[in-house]
Each structure stands twice: as C-alpha cells, then as structure tokens.
Structure 1
C-alpha cells in the first residue's frame, strides 16, 4: 500500500541548515550596508533560465520493421521476427476462443484447461517427465488461457529448438488431459476462490467490473466452487477439439533463426492440418452500469477503495485518439488534473488514477479510482466527481494539449523498442483483425488532435448521469454517510462466496 511521505524534518540536517542560515544572514547583513538594493523585477529579468533554451527536436519518423507474415492455405497465420543478439528462440501459438465463450455453468473451465493441458503431458510423454527433460535444457513449454484465447508457448536455446518445438507441437496436437492433474488444478482453483475477498483492492476492481458489464457478463463473471467442480476431462477434450483448428491459430516466433528455415519447419508441422469451425465473433449488449451508489462493507479495514465507473470505448472508434489525449490530461500521471487536485492540492488520497478504457473488440471501462481514509470517503468521492464534471465544462488549454501529446508520443515508442515488443504488437493486431499500419497511424492521429476535438469528445462521451459509484470500506468509520453524494440510497453488495452444501461448515465463519 502506498502512503504519503512522512513530513518530519531530519534533526541533523535542520541543525546544519540553521548554522548555514545564520552565517549567510550575517554576510547578507554586512553586504547590505555597502550594496545598492536592486528592485525585484530587475533581478528576475537578469536571472538566467537556460532550460528554456534547450532545443527540442521533432520526433523522428516512426516505421518499425514489421515481422515477416505468412498465411498458410488452411488459415494458419505465421509471424516471424529474427533477432540474432542472443542464441535464444521463443514462440507462441495463440488460439482464438477463451473464457468469454464457455457456458455460464462451466465458468473456470479455461483456467483448468490451461493448467491441466501442460501438466498432463501428451499421449506419448508424461507431463512430469517433460518437466524434467525441459528443466535439464533450461527450456520451457507452457499452456494457458485468457478471456478470448488459449495458447501454447515455448522458449529454449537455439541448439535445442528442434526438440523443444517438437514437444510444443506434440502438446498442441496430442494432449493427454489426465484426470489426476485436473483434480489438482481444481483444488488450486478452489483455494483461490475462497481467498478472493482477502485483498480489498481486488474486491473493488472485481465488483466495479461487474457494475459496468453486468455480473453475468462473460467479461465480468467469476468462477465459483460449483462451476469449477463441475468441469470434467471430457469438457477439456471437447473444448480442445472445438477450438484447435488452423484457421483459429496465429503462430509468432522471435529469436535466433533463419526465417526461410523456420517457415519451412512451421509449414511441415501445420500446413496439412484440416480447417475447423471458426471461433465465434464476440457479441452482446453493453449498456453500462445502473447509476447509483454501491457499497461493500469490510469491517477489517480503515480505508476506502472508491471506484467511479462507466462504459468506455473500443479502439476502432475514430474518436479513440482524441479520447486518449483527453484521458492523459484527466488522469495520465502526476501532472494530470485528477492527481493534482485530489491528491496534491486537497490531500484526500493515498493514490488516485483513472482511465477511459478502450479494448480491441469490445468496449472498455471508464473508471476513476482512489484509496482514501475512511472519514474522507465522501469528500474524496465528491472531488473525483467534480473533476469528471470539469471535463465537460472546464476548457482544455494549449499547454495541457501539448503536454498530453508529448507524454503519449514519447512513451509510445517504448512499447516498440525491441523486436520482441514489435512482434507482440503485430500479433495483437493480427489476432483482432486490425490493419498492420494501425501503429504507424497512431502518431499522426494523436498529433492531429486539437483542443476543439477534446471539448467535442468530452461532451459526447462524458455523462456523469450514467456513472456508478462503488465504495469498498468500513461503514462504521465513514463519518459522513454516502447519502451525502446525492445519488440515492446506497445499494449493498453481498460478496459472500457461495459454498456447496456442507462445505461452509468446513470453512468456518467469515467465508
């Protein structure tokens, strides 16, 4: 937890400064008897300001060299990025389809799938023996899952590439899905579920996401003990058979290899695979949160996590660039309006941040969040709401615009300062179907944003009447009631973890 720095003065430094101060004061007193006093304005005019003379050259042209792209006849996309700096090769096989695509009764399946897939090994190699083999070579083959994808990845020394890549392909094409490994994964998942209310910040983020997307939304729902325990080995096999198809796969490889040789190897491994059913396109309605105040009572804390949330946008929105600049001015860092007002000037928060979220294929989340002392919960929330309102009413200045653009563009390049990062971004664009020049257009689009654009998007997208306020804190210590926010009676949120029959008695009270 971050805290404000202690303001007490250092006693030794104070004594030294006092001695120096007395010496300087005596010298100044003597000098004043013989020196003509110069008017303050004249002194200021004579003061040098060399920092204002530092030339700032324009940013150079941004043209990152894209990875080599190959598309096989069956739909497999291959992206290759040579990098001979180290004798090392890493690759990832991304497969479309993730946790948002599983039935509600099986939420948690993708996490179990990603864990069991690798630990089970293959039909020809036991998972534990694979661990020993790979460890001896300082290599890795891993599997995992996410909201919209699953993956197999590998990394190794160049000299071991053929063997380690062969293991990765074997894991992809011939998984074993051992029931014993699944049971172990279930135990670990259940252990995480019963502890999910321990971290207050995680509780706040989880419940804020539910407010924006809906508790039953694929983008917000949580695995429960019942849904995890319902997953079977047959479920894992069925998921694998449904999603692992060439037309759902993107393979990205980076490191010490020859592109022509690597392409030949990948063609031999994947080109003969038959096409399968395409992964479903994401859909659904995104209405945003129901306005109001929501409260989670945590009696074991003396601080409040405050989240003010609404619906964001997606990156295909033509206003994405203007919203990015607006967001930088609003909450981009220490110099942002939000930080300067709520923390620096008013001293109401240990930390304060925000963002106008933009996901690749669905709306993100607009949020403003702060960690504050329990008694200042309402005051801090009002200050945050005021800053959100000011986006519509307080004019954006040229200085703010220039600073925000500089921050965005100067930091943007660090997302592409290595070949590995360039490959990662290219893979992301490929995965979501964005044009390959999307990154190059980013700079020009940001540079073109004007203060008029900022005022336009703020009026269009910022609507305080559509926002929800979530407070996770200790009700007995709030002091000022949440009704003072003038947003109606707070809606209590129950974060009790549903337990199967008989399990709650085993866990004890408080769970």
Structure 2
C-alpha cells in the first residue's frame, strides 16, 4: 500500500513539474489523448401500457432493486383551467384534498396510519393536472393503495382544512413583494403572456376568498373521471398481477368527458421598459422576455442547441461576455423556452448592481442580437451538443423518472417514443440550423425588459434605454400599513 501511494505521489509530482516547465515531451498532454467513447443508444424499456374501457390509461414498470412501490394517479385539469374569478381554486383543492381525507378516514387519522408503515400519500396540483401519489414498502402496497384509491374516489373536503390552506396562500400573497426576484418573475410572466392569459394571470386575495367547499367538490366531480385519469406504478411487483388488481379497482369509475386544453390566443407582448420600484435593495433584477415555442415544433432541437450555446453554463456566450469578461452581473442566463402545449417563455435574466443595470441590459441585448449574426464555431457547436446529450441521460437514469415522463407525455398527447427521438434530433443539428432558427425566432426588438430595483441607485437611469413604464405591484385588498 505504501509503495502504491508513493508511486501515485511520484507521478503527480512529475506531472506538476512538467506542467510548470512548459509542457510535455509529446505534442498533446496525456488527458487530451483520452478518447471519449460514443454514447450508447438510448432505448429505455417501455413500461407496460394499457387503456381500460372507461378511458383510464395505466403504465406499469417493474423494478425489483428495492422492496418499494411508487404510484401516481394524475388527473387532467389544472390551474390554467380554473375560472378567472376563482384563481387559486386548484391550488387550494390540491392542498386540502389530502389533509381533509375521506368520509371513513379523516386526514389526521390517515397520517397516523401511514406513519406506522413508513408510507406516504400526497395530493397536489399544477398548471395542467392534479394528482394523488403514493410510496410504500411492497408488503404494504395493498393497504396503502386502498387508502389512495379511497382518497381519489371519496374525498370529504373539510372547511377547517380549506381555511388553513387559504390562510397559507393569503400569507404568501401578502409577502409576494418581499423578494425582488419573485416580483420580477411574476411581472415578466404577466407582460409576456398578458395579465388575463391563463399562463400569466395572478391569484389575488379576493379570488381566494371566493372559493368555497362546493367549488372543491365541483372541481373534483368535473375532473376525476376515467377519460382524465392516467395511472403509473413503478417498483417491486409483478406487472401482470398488478394489472389485474388495477383493472378491478378502476373499472367502476365512469368514463366522463375528457378535459381538453383551453383554447388560448397568444400574441407578442408590447415591447418596452417596465420598472418596479423596490427601495430596500441595492441591486437590480432584470428579465428580458417574449414568447417561446412548443416542444412539438420541428425546430425544437436546433433551438435547444442554440440555447446551450447562448446560456448553457459557464462556457456559454452570455455568461462569458456579461459575467466573466465585462463583470456586469452576479448571475445571468436564459433560454428560448418550450412548453408541451403552449408557447414557453423566451427569457434572459440577470442580477446586477444598481449602477450597472443599464450596461448589463445593453450587453445582454447585444449578445441576443449576435445570435442572429454570429454562426456558432465548430467548438461551440460540439460543446453544446455534447453537454445536452451527456446531461440528458441523467434526467432519465432510473425507472421512476422514465415512468413519470411517460405519464407526462400521455397527459399532453405526445408519442411514447418522444424521448428516444431527442438524441437523434440533437445530433443532426448543424451550425447552419442554429443560425437559421436564431434568425427565425430571435427578435430582440420584440423583447420586453422588466427591471426590479431601487430607483434612487439607478445611475444612469433606465430612461437611457427608452421610455419607461412604471409597474404597480401593490397588492389589492391588502391591509393598510
């Protein structure tokens, strides 16, 4: 052992000396001689997939490494589908669903039952769906699943739990101007999508106050039907045996009407400079925003490579220029965002000292514009594609991640092999493709610039960039101080 250690130290010392004295006797350093093997083909084992007569889709993925089972019951319909005068409904629904429990097992009692077997059942909500999830030891699956199914089929929403969730949400609203970055994100979404757009609107105290138990029950009745439910199970089970259990458990749920994605009109935001004053900070949060695209867009892969070249880590253009070379930002990044069934957000964000706000914004705009004029170098293109492909596999490196993604693809109606197409799509991207999509989609003149900062410290003022619109970030209905 001592000899081995001594040999290692000797090699390390020699390596250090060679490096300090100007190089190696060979033309290339040893680490540059390492050949990176090609990536293996990405063909994840597809989960067992079936559709019941009532429309419920089921995905089953066996994984016997550990004696656990994880399950999801995901239901189409989320915050984007709630009425404008009931904003916050789906969030309160998702929170009070689990805490309320069922007619036979109140939430507090369910807590105790699950704690005894180290299991969990949770409910929640998102933009396009709600869910019931479970996690347990294999031996406790039958009882845990029975409780989760009872929660799905027979919730009994309690006024005390609704009130508790409402108070928590209202506290969040009353404190939503505490953090500058939170203000910037909220205002950027509103400006990019529109304040009445389902993807840009903001929950208010008044809309939360209008939500009653009847609203929760009506939402549940509307969405929890067979054609809206997608079930996924992954873990230590026999797929054929579990399929039989699930068929029996779900067969009595009525098919109902499938909830379609809302029909939403999107238009470019009015470009301009928008400023929200926050007097208790000494730095600015900057967002440049516009509409992005959908993942179904054939140009999605070229745009992904463009994003990586522009802002993918420390070696990217905007980081190297704005942060490293010019020293104008603590952090900077962004992307031409893509969502599943609506335009994502084209957003570039930065945090900088107040006095550098204008200079940082100008530098970012310059880098955005150069996406259209500067074709990626071979080194930039290779780095971007390698980074995307090498990181992609870690997003889906276990069965649970793959199953969760398959459920998401099913929610939005994407093909089951969408993940497998990713590698080939990225590998085919050329420098010319990047330049083509940059010129097609990147339009700096259409970006809205949102700044949250201290007006007394902005020198030069934002007006140097153009006319400034002051944003009203007051909270309607908040108590007067």
SS for the counterpart of 1:204 is: helix
Unaligned segments of structure 2, at least 5 residues: 1-16
- Kindly indicate whether the alpha-carbon contact (under 8 Å) linking 2:375 and 2:434 is maintained by their aligned counterparts in 1: no
- Cα 1:357–1:48 shift into 2, 3 Å: closer
* Aligned residue number for residue 490 of structure 1: 468
**Deviates most, 53-62 or 356-365:** 53-62
1:59 to 2:34 alignment: no
* Aligned residue number for residue 82 of structure 1: 62
- Cα 1:79–1:46 shift into 2, 3 Å: closer
Determine the C-alpha separation between the residues in 1 that align with 2:97 and 2:405: 26
Aligned residues: 463
Unaligned segments of structure 1, at least 5 residues: 1-23, 25-37
Determine the C-alpha separation between the residues in 2 that align with 1:52 and 1:114: 53
1:137 to 2:117 alignment: yes
Shift, 1:48, TM fit: 4.6
The partner residue of 2:176 within 196, 199, 203 is: 196
1:240 to 2:220 alignment: yes
Determine the C-alpha separation between the residues in 1 that align with 2:222 and 2:309: 45
Residue pairs, 1:193-232, within 5 angstroms: 193-232=173-212
Give the RMSD, CA atoms, in angstroms.
1.6
Shift, 1:45, TM fit: 8.1
1:403 to 2:375 alignment: no
CA offsets, 1:223-270, max 9 Å, x none? 111100100000011111000001100000111111011111110111
CA offsets, 1:7-42, max 9 Å, x none? xxxxxxxxxxxxxxxxx9xxxxxxxxxxxxx9x9xx
Shift, 1:73, TM fit: 0.9
SS for the counterpart of 2:323 is: helix
* Aligned residue number for residue 283 of structure 2: 303
Determine the C-alpha separation between the residues in 2 that align with 1:50 and 1:251: 51
Shift, 1:51, TM fit: 2.4
* Aligned residue number for residue 49 of structure 1: 29
* Aligned residue number for residue 403 of structure 2: 423
- Kindly indicate whether the alpha-carbon contact (under 8 Å) linking 1:282 and 1:361 is maintained by their aligned counterparts in 2: no
Shift, 1:44, TM fit: 8.5
1:112 to 2:104 alignment: no
* Aligned residue number for residue 11 of structure 2: none
CA offsets, 1:392-449, max 9 Å, x none? 1112111111111100001111111111111111111111111111111111111111
* Aligned residue number for residue 266 of structure 2: 286
Residue pairs, 1:171-190, within 5 angstroms: 171-190=151-170
* Aligned residue number for residue 237 of structure 2: 257
TM-score normalised to structure 1 length: 0.88
The partner residue of 2:329 within 327, 330, 349 is: 349
Determine the C-alpha separation between the residues in 2 that align with 1:425 and 1:46: 48
- Kindly indicate whether the alpha-carbon contact (under 8 Å) linking 1:297 and 1:475 is maintained by their aligned counterparts in 2: yes
CA offsets, 1:349-395, max 9 Å, x none? 11111111000010000111110000000000000000000001112
SS for the counterpart of 1:114 is: helix
Shift, 1:52, TM fit: 2.4
* Aligned residue number for residue 35 of structure 1: none
* Aligned residue number for residue 31 of structure 1: none
Determine the C-alpha separation between the residues in 2 that align with 1:422 and 1:128: 33
Shift, 1:47, TM fit: 5.6
Determine the C-alpha separation between the residues in 2 that align with 1:114 and 1:288: 32
Determine the C-alpha separation between the residues in 1 that align with 2:318 and 2:35: 30
- Kindly indicate whether the alpha-carbon contact (under 8 Å) linking 1:211 and 1:288 is maintained by their aligned counterparts in 2: no
- Kindly indicate whether the alpha-carbon contact (under 8 Å) linking 1:81 and 1:253 is maintained by their aligned counterparts in 2: yes
Shift, 1:281, TM fit: 2.1
CA offsets, 1:331-361, max 9 Å, x none? 1110000000000100111111111100001
CA offsets, 1:117-163, max 9 Å, x none? 11111111121111111111111111111111011111111111111
- Kindly indicate whether the alpha-carbon contact (under 8 Å) linking 1:323 and 1:454 is maintained by their aligned counterparts in 2: yes
- Cα 1:137–1:44 shift into 2, 3 Å: closer
* Aligned residue number for residue 143 of structure 2: 163
Determine the C-alpha separation between the residues in 1 that align with 2:114 and 2:70: 14
- Kindly indicate whether the alpha-carbon contact (under 8 Å) linking 1:204 and 1:471 is maintained by their aligned counterparts in 2: yes
Determine the C-alpha separation between the residues in 1 that align with 2:172 and 2:138: 37
* Aligned residue number for residue 247 of structure 2: 267
Determine the C-alpha separation between the residues in 2 that align with 1:398 and 1:428: 35
CA offsets, 1:181-234, max 9 Å, x none? 111111111111101111111111111111110111111212111100100000
CA offsets, 1:443-495, max 9 Å, x none? 1111111111111101000111111101100010011011212xx31101111
* Aligned residue number for residue 130 of structure 2: 150
CA offsets, 1:252-298, max 9 Å, x none? 01111110111111101112222101102232111122100000000
Determine the C-alpha separation between the residues in 1 that align with 2:226 and 2:237: 23
* Aligned residue number for residue 479 of structure 2: 504
Determine the C-alpha separation between the residues in 1 that align with 2:370 and 2:263: 33
Determine the C-alpha separation between the residues in 2 that align with 1:311 and 1:295: 20
SS for the counterpart of 1:353 is: strand
SS for the counterpart of 1:504 is: coil
TM-score normalised to structure 2 length: 0.94
SS for the counterpart of 2:253 is: coil
